[in-house]
Every structure is written in C-alpha cells, then in structure tokens.
C-alpha cells in the first residue's frame, strides 16, 4: 500500500480530480488580479479537471451561470472577493455544489477564516487535493451571508468604500474608511432578541458574524468559528471617536467579552429592531434595512479547505 504522503504532487492532483468537471467563474472587477491564475488553472487541468470558464462581475449573472451549469459541474470555483462568493451562496446551497475559493478580492476574509492562502496557485492546489469541509451560512431576512453583517458604523464604511479606494489602498482601505466615517456617525437605539433573551441599548455599531474574520482580518469573537452553528454579535456603545483606540484593538482580536463599552453575545436566532430605519450591509454589500431577523444554517455549504485545516470549534 502506497501512502498518499509519498506520492508526487501531480499524482495527488490526478487522484483527486480525474474525469470531473468544474464551473470556473472569475470576477474581473475583483481587487486582486493574481498572476498565478493561469498557473493554478493549468495545475487543475493537468490533473484531469475539465473547466467550464466564465467571466462576469454581475452577481445576478453569476447566479444564472451556476443554475445553468449545475447539472454539468460537480463543483464551482469562484475567483473573486467576499462579496462575489457571498452572492453565489444561495445557488451553491440550492444545487448542493462544492465551492472552491480563489482569493482575488481585497480582504479575502472567508479564505482567511478557512486558512486558504492568498496565492491563487496555492488555492488551486488546495482544490486539487480535494478535502471538503461543511461550513455554516448566515441569513439576514432573505439574504445569505458568510462573514459578517453590519448595522450602523460598518454600513457607513461599506458605503464609503469604492473599487477605486480598494484598488488604491488595498487592505488599508478599511481602516482609512473607518477614520473617515466615525467622526460624523450618529448613534441609534436598538432592541435585540436572541434565543429568548432581550437587550435594549444605545449603539453606534452592531455586527453579527457567521464566520470568524471580516474587514480585512478583524475577528468577530475570539472563540467564533464558521462551523460552530452560532451567530456572534457585538454592539459598541457611543463613545467620542478619539477614545476608541483600545476598543479598536479589542475588535481586531475579537476579545470583546466583559469589555467596557461593548455588549457581546451569541445565539442561533437574533432579531433586531431600531428606533429609526437603519441600512444593513453583509459581506461588503448593502442588502436590506431594519427590522431584521438573523438565523444560521448549520453545515449548509461544502467548501474545499487545506489538508491541515483545523476549525477553532471543538465538536
């Protein structure tokens, strides 16, 4: 018996992918046009994978492609950012397709959560190795999301960000936008219902996370995982913007429990009402307004992950 660890890399690719088809969708507007794309695709094709290659920057068109080719491809490989992947989640779940991630966006937080490297060629190698893992999906009203949804300050950041800013500033564009938005942001009142518990508060920002990372590497909660069957929420009490540095450091690492000025909790279902209508963004797109109902779809999506991927969640 020959152990897989002793096989050459090209043999592993052939074993994993022989005589199978995949739909490849690349978002040309994504922030990172990695030059490794062609090399990565060649690795997949040399391993026996037949690629149906399509290019689009329109989320509606991407979903149409997935629906159209669902019977021909067992998996969908998406080259793009978090917004592109999130927009495709509904069709992927509907047709029970496995997702391969090529991190070609600005933040690539889903890839970071799953320990997928930013090199597109290395991401293709992970797909070739063939290890699948089921992750949760968040829902806010009728919309799917994978990383995090925002009400308040985070929506202002989403609105401020543009393709031009992302392309010019890269990962620093998020911090830059926070500094621009926070000075003029107004607080609001919210009532949060979570698994039978009610919390009324005054806030400048509410974030609800399905995954672990968002905003270019910030952490929703230090114990959060994308397969823990929970949504993780934090709310920031109103503070003068110049006093936010210690809290910002806590948000970066996700160490928010018992932090002064922060309310944090987790649950499977979360309802939020606000005293005035507030826009809601998810995975970088403004998608709805309050009131909103959040819930988690456990193990709803199959994704290719590295062979050595270990979830922070302990089963």
Give the per-residue pLDDT at 238: 85
Per domain, the residue ranges of the chain are 4-130, 143-298
Least confident of 19-28, 192-201, 251-260: 251-260
pLDDT-derived band at 194, boundaries 50, 70, 90: very high
The predicted pLDDT at position 184 comes to 63
Given a cut of 60, is residue 293 above it in pLDDT?
Answer: yes
3-state helix, strand, coil in the chain (%, to 5): 30, 35, 35
CA dihedral sign of residues 221, 227, 228, 233:
positive
Query: Residue 10: what pLDDT?
Result: 47
Note the pLDDT of residue 314: 62
pLDDT over 90 (residue 224): yes
Task: Report whether pLDDT(7) > 90.
Answer: no
CA distance 190 to 273: 6
- Give the bridge partners for 234, in sequence order: 207, 264
Return the CATH class of domain 4-130. alpha beta
pLDDT of residue 179: 53
Predicted local confidence at residue 5, as pLDDT: 46
Percent pLDDT > 70 in the chain is 79
- On the question of pLDDT at 299 being above 60, the answer is yes
pLDDT at 15 exceeding the cut of 60:
no
Are 123 and 117 in contact by the 8 Å Cβ rule? The answer is yes
The pLDDT of residue 157 is above 70: no
Burial class (CB in 10 A: 0-12, 13-18, 19+), 313: middle
pLDDT level of residue 36 (50, 70, 90 thresholds): confident
Distance, CA of 297 to chain centre: 14
User: Residue 45: pLDDT above 80?
Assistant: yes
Backbone phi and psi for residue 6, each to the nearest 5 degrees, phi listed first: -100, 5
**Residue 41, SS3 per DSSP:** helix
At 57, the pLDDT band (50, 70, 90 cuts) reads confident
- Enter the DSSP assignment of 182: H
pLDDT of 64-120, one tens digit each? 999 999 999 989 999 999 999 999 999 999 999 999 999 998 889 999 999 999 999
Look at residue 58 in the predicted model and tell me its pLDDT. Answer: 84
Q: How confident is the model at residue 29 (pLDDT cuts 50, 70, 90)?
A: confident
CATH class of residue range 143-298: mainly beta
State pTM to two decimals: 0.84
């Amino acid at each position: 018996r020959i152990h897989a660890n002793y096989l050459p890399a090209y043999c592993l690719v052939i074993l994993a992918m022989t005589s199978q088809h995949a739909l490849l969708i690349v978002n040309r507007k994504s922030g990172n046009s990695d030059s490794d794309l062609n090399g990565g695709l060649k690795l997949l094709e040399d391993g026996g994978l037949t690629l149906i290659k399509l290019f689009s920057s329109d989320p509606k068109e991407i979903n149409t492609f997935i629906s159209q080719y669902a019977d021909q491809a067992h998996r969908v490989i998406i080259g793009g950012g978090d917004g592109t992947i999130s927009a495709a989640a509904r069709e992927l779940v509907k047709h029970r397709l496995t997702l391969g991630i090529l991190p070609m966006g600005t933040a690539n937080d889903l890839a970071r959560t799953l320990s997928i490297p930013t090199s597109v060629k290395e991401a293709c190698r992970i797909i070739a190795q063939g290890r699948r893992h089921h992750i949760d999906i968040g829902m806010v009203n009728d919309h799917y999301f994978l990383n995090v949804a925002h009400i308040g300050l985070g929506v202002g950041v989403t609105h401020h960000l543009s393709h031009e800013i992302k392309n010019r500033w890269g990962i620093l564009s998020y911090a830059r936008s926070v500094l621009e938005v926070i000075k003029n942001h107004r607080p609001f009142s919210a009532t949060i219902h979570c698994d039978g518990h009610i919390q009324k508060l005054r806030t400048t920002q509410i974030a609800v996370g399905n995954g672990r990372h968002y905003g270019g590497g910030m952490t929703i909660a230090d114990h959060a995982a994308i397969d823990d069957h929970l949504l993780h929420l934090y709310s920031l009490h109103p503070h003068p913007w110049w006093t936010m540095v210690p809290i910002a450091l806590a948000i970066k690492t996700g160490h928010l429990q018992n932090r002064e000025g922060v309310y944090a909790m987790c649950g499977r279902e979360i309802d939020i009402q606000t005293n005035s209508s507030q826009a809601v963004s998810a995975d970088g797109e403004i998608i709805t307004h309050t009131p909103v109902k959040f819930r988690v779809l456990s193990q709803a999506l199959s994704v290719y992950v590295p062979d050595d991927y270990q979830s922070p969640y302990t089963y």
